[in-house]
Amino acid sequence: MWTYYPDLLATHVPRYTSYPTAADFGELPANAYREALESVHGDVSLYLHIPFCEQICFYCGCNTGRANRQHRLASYLDALHTEIATVAALLPNDARVRRISFGGGSPNAIAPADMLGILDALSRHFHLEAPILSTELDPRTMSQDWADAIGQAGFDMASLGVQTFAAHCQKAIGRVQDEDLILRSVDWLREAGVGSINFDLMYGLPGQSEDDLLDSLQRTRALGADRIALFGYAHVPHIVPRQRAIPASQLPDQEARFAMADLGYRYLCTHGYTPVGFDHFAKPGADPMASAALAGTLRRNFQGFTDDQAANLIGLGASAISSFPGLLAQNEKNSGRYRMRASQGLLSAERGIRRSAHDRYRGSVIEALLCHGRARIGARLMAQVRCEIAPFLERGLASFDEEWLTILPEGLPYARTIAALFDTYRAVSMRQFSSAV
């Protein structure tokens, strides 16, 4: 059982799906994104953002809106098709796409035929090399037609937004979905040939108890999830206005959140799942993420933990983020402005940051700590953080030996806090980030 040290969890920290984080982005230099695209070689991964949901949940911090205006949705898809052609035309001939991921929002807020149309456009404009296909899905709007399209396209992985099975928690976060909807979605996906199914679950929800979380974990296991992402709810209504519908007084306090994270970790590790980083779990032999964690090849990108080894990730769609060794670039967030730019054949990336050699070094340290629990730290860098890291060493949460900093088993819930010690940008206000646990 983990030990709770409130003083070490007092500061909110990023999830570090990139370094620097999106909070550090500024206006991009002219032509920076174009030059990055033109310099891509080798393996490439694509991420397509569908910023629509048929129903908007109170807790959600994603860039998404209601899919209730067909003209707006059709206009967005037209712009996305144009962006696909624009971006693909700038890539060198040896760039090969080996992964394609759909996220949102809810990709199944669009018609199955539209999803197949996007895949067809990608095959016409990019050089695809039998890419691994994955998508996020909302069980509330899942259909047999969507499952048929997933089977036709040959999707390998799907992630279901479950969050919780507790009815009172579902009502409080605006995501009411009974177990039959989720079971039906799983059955459809299995029949469609999807080999890996992920459940997104959350703790720290309004009115949620440890028994509620345990029940959700048991049901998730019974439904055969191959992978589980167990996130702590981040309550930031000053950034996500829709979260004002969730009273802060109903949220578990930090100590209760810590206990839930501990419960989730202990339950999943003793019921057939391998821990992947600090908040993912996967079945050995059934999911490639577990293999990556065991082999030491786990990575971290804007989709979270991944076994994707590509150095270049290209984001397509409003707010999508692209990652290159020397540059992070984010498309226009506003869907209307994105449509205007993309439909004219203009590149949509308007914010981002150049990654210096210093950034890449620190980013590699942060990624190694979060993915593998250890990182090699040079003497100069260690000297810069020695005072801040001392409390973690003294309490047996981490160790330092011959240039290797290791997060010990007791220190796992403090992984993001330890990683943040190497973040030179963290002096910027942390109010926009989530609790470390």
| Residues contributing to the annotated binding site for S-adenosyl-L-methionine | 47, 59-61, 104, 136, 163, 175, 200, 234, 321
The tokens for 291 are: 């293999």
User: Of 170, 154, 157, 254, whose CA–CA distance to 204 is shortest?
Assistant: 254
The position carrying tokens 């098709």 is 81
Binding residues for [4Fe-4S] cluster: 53, 57, 60
User: Of 121, 115, 67, whose CA–CA distance to 97 is shortest?
Assistant: 121
The position carrying tokens 């306090």 is 253
In whole angstroms, what is the distance from residue 49 CA to residue 104 CA?
5
For 94, counting Cβ atoms within 10 Å of its Cβ (0-12 exposed, 13-18 middle, 19+ buried), the class is exposed
Alpha carbon 304 to chain centroid distance? 4
Binding residues: 47, 53, 57, 59-61, 104, 136, 163, 175, 200, 234, 321
CB atoms within 10 A of CB 249: 6
> In sequence order, which residues have a C-beta less than 8 Å from that of residue 326 and are 6 or more positions away?
36, 354, 355, 360
